[in-house]
Amino acid sequence: MLAVTFQSLRRVAVETVPDPVLLGSGDAIVRVERSAVCGSDMHVFHGRETGIDAGCVMGHEFLGEVVEAGPDAGVAVGTRVVSPFTTSCGGCRFCRIGLTCRCVSGALFGWVAGGIGLPGAQAEAVRVPLARSTLVPVPDGVDPDAALLCGDVLATGFFCAENGAVGPGDTVAVVGLGPVGLSAVLGAVHRGAARVLAVDDVPERLAVAGRLGGEPVDRSAVDPLEVVRDATDGAGADVVLEAVGHPSAARLAVDLVRPGGTVSSVGVHTAPSFPFSPVEAYDKNLTFAIGRCPARRLAEPLLELLRREEIDVSPLVTHRMPLADAVRAYDRFDRREDGCIKIVLEP
């Protein structure tokens, strides 16, 4: 089959690799109808995250049809499914408290290091271990692109708002308006935030934030700190949602939040330390919430919101490209070329 593989720093390739096969009784093979390129793929691409094997199949966002299922897979051949970006068992302590991303037997798609791990989904097919408790059937009537986003970025944006305990009437700032940050705008609006100040410097992304209920703040034209202070009588935002994964964004988030407020961070921070000191956190009575999204827990409720048409994620998918053009897709996503927000790859 065709698959996108990691080669070396800033190099991915579309190659022919062996078809996946069932390895365990709980495995399923999914024929990928769509996968997507994610900001997280860029950490590997640019070498900010290291250790992945050359030749590892990339990608962790996918939707498709179950074409083979082991006897314990718990999902019928022919079912259309979306997958969270990690597998989970559904029964361990962490799965039971809804922290499916920390499942003791879970794995991240598209991460094979030293021969150990789970090949990814930017491919024509993918093997899914723990299929029964990982895969989520896509309800009829939900647009497949929207459903695809429930496995990662949409879930992550909503998780960011949840982890920040955004509540009715809050003034929220969102730092970074990639697919994750834009989903965080939606999540904050959905939780009843009174104002959602959405910070980035990419014009197309600022415009989409406006369509989703946010107030665009172009950091290349205005000082976000001044905008947030003006909006809050000088106090700062109740909650700041950070969706970048760069020290500059974490620093801005801590500057924007009010004393006693919460910074909720879902950006993957690969720098060795936080760009704020313990005493700064102390002096602000800061709550700092951070971590990977338990997408398995969020996917089902999000699919239901989509089915009821309570949220509209259509502005997020801006490009669809053939899987065979993935090298160009990585480059386009990386450069944010041509108003690119989310690229869907079709085998």
Place of tokens 């996917």: 299
292 binds ligand NAD, rule: CB under 6 A = yes
Of 103 and 185, nearer to Zn ion (C-beta) is: 103
Interface pick for Zn ion out of 152, 162, 238, 242 (rule CB under 5 A): 152
Does residue 228 touch ligand NAD according to CB under 6 A?
A: no
| 298 lines the binding site for ligand NAD (CB under 6 A) | no
- 129 is a site residue for ligand NAD (CB under 6 A): no
What region, left, alpha or beta, does residue 246 occupy, with left being phi > 0 and alpha being psi -120 to 50 degrees? beta
Query: Binding residue for ligand NAD (CB under 6 A) from 27, 33, 124, 152?
Result: 152
Tell me how crowded residue 206 is: count the other CB atoms within 10 A of its CB: 21
Farthest-apart Cα atoms in the chain, separation? 61
Q: Say how far apart CA 65 and CA 125 lie, in whole Å.
A: 9
Query: Which residues are CB-neighbours of 96 under 8 A, at least 6 positions away?
Result: none
Token pair 């499916």 is found at: 100
Looking from the CA of 67 toward its CB, the CA atoms found within 13 Å total 15
Residue 56 contact partner, candidates Zn ion, ligand NAD, none, CB within 5 to 8 A by sort of partner? none
293 binds ligand NAD (CB under 6 A): yes
Asked if 255 interacts with Zn ion (CB under 5 A), we say no
53: which DSSP letter? P
Q: Which of 12, 28, 29, 38 binds ligand NAD (CB under 6 A)?
A: 38
Residues 6+ apart with CB under 8 A from 219: 199, 200, 201
Q: Is 40 in the site for Zn ion (CB under 5 A)?
A: yes
Asked whether position 35 contacts Zn ion by CB under 5 A, the answer is: no
Residue ranges binding Zn ion (CB under 5 A): 38, 40, 88-89, 92, 95, 103, 152
Binding site for ligand NAD (CB under 6 A): 38-40, 43, 152-153, 156, 175-181, 199-202, 205, 219, 243-246, 248-249, 252, 266-268, 292-293
